[in-house]
Amino acid sequence: MINLTTIDYKKLPWSSKQSREKNFIYIKDVSELPEEASATRRELEKLKINSLLVFPIKIKNELYGFIGFDNIERVSKWEEEDFYLLQTTSEIISNALERKWSEETLKGSHQLLAGIMSSLTDTIYLVDNHLNIIWVNNVAKQTFGMQLTSKKCYNVLMHRGKPCKECMILKTFLDGKIHEKEKEYVNIIGNKIVCWTTSSAAGLNLEGETELAIVIIRDITTRKLTEDSLMQSEISLKLLNETLVQKVEEKTRELKESEEKYKRMLNDLDVGFYKGEFKEKLLMHNAALIKILGLSESISLVGSKSSQFFVNASDQKKYYKDLLEKGFVRNFTSQIKTPDGKIINIQLNSHLIRDDKGNPKEIEGTVIKLTNNIKN
């Protein structure tokens, strides 16, 4: 049979068909093979085989080889006893190989499962329907202690004398479904830890009822503390924001009241008041200034160029020069032209406002109408 190890039976359709249909290949005389077996005849003639009797060796219905006899000396006729012996032998070998293959596969699966379990960072344990722990992973031992198996889960994990209220594991045993929720446990050093716990069916009995549950415990204490801290920060920030909004509203209200009070004070003055950009437009004025200029109370001069009112250019030049040099003018008399073209005599008392870089920014002051002529 050693000669047959070089034959690829996938390329011999007649032999493959015989093996499938009869579960053996019997060739009494190679030279008498039919035309459809020509490929088989050529291969066997190359090996100088005259007769052949083989039975397949299969594992999981997959062909792995053959066992049997071949004759290279002459044509052979095998007896029924030979058929029975070879068939029995091939079945024994196939069963032994299949059992060995299954054992190796199972061993590999166990090793793979053990590797997966050891790499997980979550606590995992198996519990029976009496809530007895029957297996735990290394993380469970590190977190809750070495002596966990054969003990009640609520004793060693929760430090309780009876099952938990609304026990999720018991629910799994009742309905076979997955149950999960956030729970508190006590670890090996007595500290409380917050965990996300999942319970699911791991094994069924012959009646299809759950007899084993697998429980996965994920420590979320740090995440929970972070979430609580963020929530507290959010609450504090919200309170701070509400306080700031309240303060801003109060300040806005106070400023508005002050502004209104300021405007009332300005409007109650007997003298004209104005504020404007340096050599540019007026920003504000009171009602007395409008009256001095002989205008209707409904008219506003805001936006008008303040320097346009001076009659004499020399007065205007001296006015701005004194402001730049001294920062103020006192009892400065001049003539101005009102918007309707009248010339009136006035007295100005003003001061200069500079920006943070020292540049002239604004002027504010008072205007008094003089009844007598200005003496030059």
> Which segments of the chain belong to CATH 3.30.450.40?
2-111
Q: Where is average pLDDT lowest: 47-51, 114-118, 153-157, 190-194?
A: 114-118
Q: How many other C-beta atoms lie within 10 A of the C-beta of residue 46?
A: 11
Confidence category of residue 76, pLDDT binned at 50, 70, 90: low
Residue 118 is predicted with a pLDDT of 65
Of the pLDDT bands very low, low, confident and very high (cuts 50, 70, 90), residue 353 is very high
Contact 124, 214 (CB under 8 A): yes
- Assess whether pLDDT exceeds 70 at residue 3: no
Percent of the chain residues topping a pLDDT of 90: 18
Q: Give the count of beta carbons closer than 10 Å to the beta carbon of residue 309.
A: 20
CATH top-level class for 267-370? alpha beta
Instruction: List pLDDT tens digits, range 83-113.
Output: 777 777 777 776 777 777 666 655 665 565 5
- State the burial class of residue 152 (Cβ atoms within 10 Å of its Cβ: 0-12, 13-18, 19+): middle
Q: Name the segment(s) of the chain with CATH classification 3.30.450.20.
A: 119-224, 267-370
DSSP code, position 219: E
Is the Cβ–Cβ distance between 54 and 85 less than 8 Å? no
Query: What does the pLDDT read at residue 322?
Result: 93
Q: Tokens 């920062």 sit at which residue?
A: 327
* Residue 117 pLDDT level (bands cut at 50, 70, 90): low
Instruction: Return the pLDDT at 131.
Output: 92
CB contact set of 303 (below 8 Å; sequence gap of 6+): 281, 282
Residue 376 predicted with pLDDT over 60: no
Q: CATH class for domain 2-111?
A: alpha beta
Least trusted range by pLDDT, from 1-5, 39-43, 324-328: 1-5
Nearest Cα residue to 282 out of 353, 345, 363? 363
CATH architecture of 119-224: 2-Layer Sandwich (3.30)
Q: What is the mean pLDDT of residues 42-51?
A: 79
pLDDT of residue 112: 59
pLDDT in tens, 215-274: 999 989 888 888 888 888 888 888 888 888 888 888 888 888 777 777 777 676 778 888
The answer for 144, left when phi > 0, alpha when psi is -120 to 50, beta otherwise, is: alpha
DSSP state of 122: S
119-161 pLDDT, tens per residue? 678 888 888 989 999 888 888 888 888 788 889 988 888 888 8
| pLDDT, tens digit (0-9, with 9 covering 90-100), for 165-217 | 889 999 999 898 999 999 888 888 888 889 999 999 887 776 778 888 999 99
CA torsion sign for 244, 246, 251, 253 is: positive
What's the rounded Cα separation, in Å, for the pair 309 and 99?
116
| φ, ψ (nearest 5 deg) of residue 63 | -75, 125
